[in-house]
Structure 1
Amino acid sequence: MKIGIPKEIKNNENRVALTPAGAKELTKRGHQVFVQQSAGLGSGFSDQQYEQGGAKILPTIQDVYGVGEMILKVKEPIEEEYSLIQEDQLLFTYFHFASYEPLAKAMIQSKAVCLAYETVEKPDRSLPLLVPMSEVAGRMAIQKGANYLEKPLGGRGILLGGVPGTLPAKVLILGGGIVGTHAAWMAAGLGADVTILDVSLPRMRYLADIMPANVKTMMSNEFNIRKLLPTADLVVGAVLIPGAKAPHLITKDMLSLMTEGSVLVDVAVDQGGCIETCKPTTHEDPTYVIDGVLHYCVANMPGAVPYTSTLALTNATLPYALELADKGWKEACKQHQDLELGLNIIHGEVVYKAVADTFGLPHTPVSTFLK
């Protein structure tokens, strides 16, 4: 199979979908890998390293899309890429369709096969291709939140862990999944007073067992959120409903409960955000203030640490990419139900129900295409 690796062109997106080592694994199996010139530089990988891995370097993004039977990416295609996508071409990347209807409609029109990292799902309901970036984003949420609590950046001027004789900052985490867990570990390690809200009692029992004493758990509901917001210095939105838009757990009117200079970090922004006042921002212009509360809503947080993120992502995606390349998408998805669940749009038909429901579009069973 011919595999194309375009350079990511989303604002300040420095990750790349494949490492030179990954290119070597694919070429060893007889596949051809085409990498856009300088695609890996942001992550610390040179064109020469890809060539040593057996890949061919192509000068433009048009060349890569033109030759690739499977396109491996990190982030969803942006508008200037829509016209490059070909009918029947397999796109394997993060899509997060539920957060942006124009993307879904463009991919329907392209008649490509869209296989989304974020909805590949194991029998135990885990999301193996979302986990590595959720781990990065959860840890970064605290790193960024602690930074923006500093007065020169618009925050209250609070040190997350405090010092002897002063109280630490209070961190509220909405969601106890992968993002929430890693955020809690980071915040706890810095000495903050951490509360995780979740709707699953088994999950909260698990978190209570593994977390240090400065992390508490609490049932997630509107009453408890309103109770905790007045004392929260940093709030991390870490809610995920696979393939669907995140619910708004913090509404605009709730901002009036918060102290001026407190910080919101919404990691769920690429699924629409779990904070009503959230809107996607970029690393170039990451924050804005509403009602005195600083919002950090960068939609590609792991792109700021591309070396770590690219290695972590490729570790997870490469086994699936090898299956798709070796067997073709139909046979690979027939044999691996987790891959089948990654299929969102096929030849102009929406096959992932949560995406269809979000936009009121017709839903076609994926089995229609896997006969």
Structure 2
Amino acid sequence: MSWSDVQVIGVLREVKADERRVALTPDGARALASDGRTVVVETAAGEGAGFSDDEYRAAGADIAVSSREVADRAGLLLHVKEPQTSEFDLFGPHHTLFTYLHLAAAPEVVAALTASGCRAIAYESVEVDRVYPLLAPMSAVAGRLAAQSAATYLEARNGGRGVLFGGIADVPPARVLVIGAGVSGRHAAAVAAAMGAEVIVADLDETRAQAVARDIGGNTRGIASGPRVIDELAPTCDVIIGAVLLPGRAAPTVITSTTLASMPRGSVIIDIAIDQGGCVEGVRSTTHQDPIRDMGHVRVSATPNMPAAVPRTATAALTAATLPYVRALAAGWPSAIARHPELVGAVNVEGGRVVHPEVGAALGL
């Protein structure tokens, strides 16, 4: 790919069901235009997040009538979610795709990307000192939404136990178990605690779980996680939020069918890990239109693109995180990896093959 190719940056409209985010705000487009780059935005790409074509035009972007036009003009393609079946023929060897991929749970996307010959860089694989700066903002949004949603689903009108998250005088609050003390777990625990719930944060790293609980304060405690601990706590919990992450790999099953069956009738599980296959045994994805279903007597929500529920906030946060990398990529690959060497490890697919070792291992390649 030549340097001139990637100077043209394309923003594709999301076609995944219920996805309202867009990969770049008009302000982000303005910043790239000020660098001398050409930005091509597919028409209506920003509508779900409240950004009009006219706002992108005013920021200096061109508006394309179709995704094909974007792909034909641009070398660097920005997306939010993994390509959908209708988009598989957009990509070629001259393209760099920069998006969330979560390929460990998407073998059909892997097949399409390898066949295309493109370079696919995953937001979630960018790692700096064991921190994932492009995953973190969406994890934070998902964690906060998980706690908010759980409080609503726990209401009797939604089939829940009829327990108030924060309780009232002389009546105990809901008990919430958050499995995973990473970014999404931390934010889920913080919101649940702020609403007055009793919160237990469980993580394989007990020190990290205790640090999160200490930072949050209130009625929050941190403990070491493990199958026995989860099995013992599950029958006492009103809500379990699964917030586990194994970067580049499928999520581990931490809530078994036996664990689920032991929970109280009308209790709620939010599976944030569904983007990577889910952490609840037998779970199937839900949607924004139909976000929760019964698994036995427990209400389970497993919506893959949770931040799409708040697309304006999520898009602004995503652009703030990705823009430095987009600017670097637009200057060409050698310059980009000199400035951000972490991009090398974020390449999932290149030259017709999977090059990320953990993704390859997860897919048995």
TM-score by length of 1: 0.95
Which residue of structure 2 lines up, in the alignment, with residue 12 of structure 1?
A: 18
Letter in 1 for 2:347: L
Of 257-266 and 329-338, the range deviating more from structure 2? 329-338
Which residue of structure 1 lines up, in the alignment, with residue 4 of structure 2?
A: none
Letter in 1 for 2:168: V
Of 331-340 and 265-274, the range deviating more from structure 2? 331-340
Which residue of structure 2 lines up, in the alignment, with residue 188 of structure 1?
A: 193
Structure 1 residue 234 displacement after superposition:
0.8
Structure 1 residue 334 displacement after superposition:
4.5
Which residue of structure 1 lines up, in the alignment, with residue 47 of structure 2?
A: 41
CA distance in 1, matches of 2:363, 2:139: 25
Structure 1 residue 304 displacement after superposition:
0.6
Structure 1 residue 56 displacement after superposition:
0.3
Which residue of structure 1 lines up, in the alignment, with residue 320 of structure 2?
A: 315
Letter in 2 for 1:206: A
Runs of 4+ in 1 over 6 A off after TM superposition: none
Structure 1 counterpart of 2:347, from 314, 326, 343: 343
Structure 1 residue 213 displacement after superposition:
2.9
CA contact (8 A) 1:11 1:284 kept: no
Which residue of structure 2 lines up, in the alignment, with residue 93 of structure 1?
A: 99
Say whether 1:70 aligns with 2:90. no
Which residue of structure 2 lines up, in the alignment, with residue 155 of structure 1?
A: 160
Structure 2 counterpart of 1:224, from 212, 229, 234: 229
Structure 1 residue 62 displacement after superposition:
1.6
Structure 1 residue 261 displacement after superposition:
0.7
CA distance in 1, matches of 2:242, 2:339: 35
CA contact (8 A) 2:165 2:197 kept: yes
Letter in 2 for 1:244: R
State the secondary structure of the residue aligned to 1:4.
Answer: strand
Q: How does 1:245-284 map to 2 (within 5 A)?
A: 245-284=250-289
Of 343-352 and 188-197, the range deviating more from structure 2? 343-352
CA contact (8 A) 2:146 2:188 kept: yes
- Deviations 1:307-366 (Å, cap 9, x if unpaired)? 10000000000000000001x2344124422211211110112111011101111xxxxx
- Deviations 1:52-82 (Å, cap 9, x if unpaired)? 1110001112211221101101111111100
CA contact (8 A) 1:248 1:276 kept: yes
Identity %: 44
Letter in 2 for 1:286: P
CA contact (8 A) 1:4 1:35 kept: yes
Say whether 1:120 aligns with 2:109. no
Say whether 1:352 aligns with 2:352. no
State the secondary structure of the residue aligned to 1:228.
Answer: helix
Structure 1 residue 35 displacement after superposition:
0.5
State the secondary structure of the residue aligned to 2:349.
Answer: strand
CA contact (8 A) 1:88 1:347 kept: no
- Deviations 1:74-102 (Å, cap 9, x if unpaired)? 11111110011122310000000011211
Structure 1 counterpart of 2:65, from 56, 59, 64: 59
CA distance in 2, matches of 1:272, 1:135: 19
CA distance in 1, matches of 2:176, 2:96: 41
Distance 1:120 1:84, change over 3 A: same
CA contact (8 A) 1:334 1:340 kept: no
Say whether 1:146 aligns with 2:151. yes
Which residue of structure 2 lines up, in the alignment, with residue 179 of structure 1?
A: 184
Structure 1 counterpart of 2:169, from 161, 164, 167: 164
State the secondary structure of the residue aligned to 1:92.
Answer: strand
Structure 1 residue 286 displacement after superposition:
1.3
- Deviations 1:140-181 (Å, cap 9, x if unpaired)? 001111111111211111111111121100100000010010
CA distance in 2, matches of 1:329, 1:230: 52
- Deviations 1:194-215 (Å, cap 9, x if unpaired)? 0010011331342243121301
The alignment yields a C-alpha RMSD, in angstroms, of: 1.1
CA contact (8 A) 2:96 2:121 kept: yes
CA distance in 1, matches of 2:156, 2:11: 42
State the secondary structure of the residue aligned to 2:330.
Answer: helix
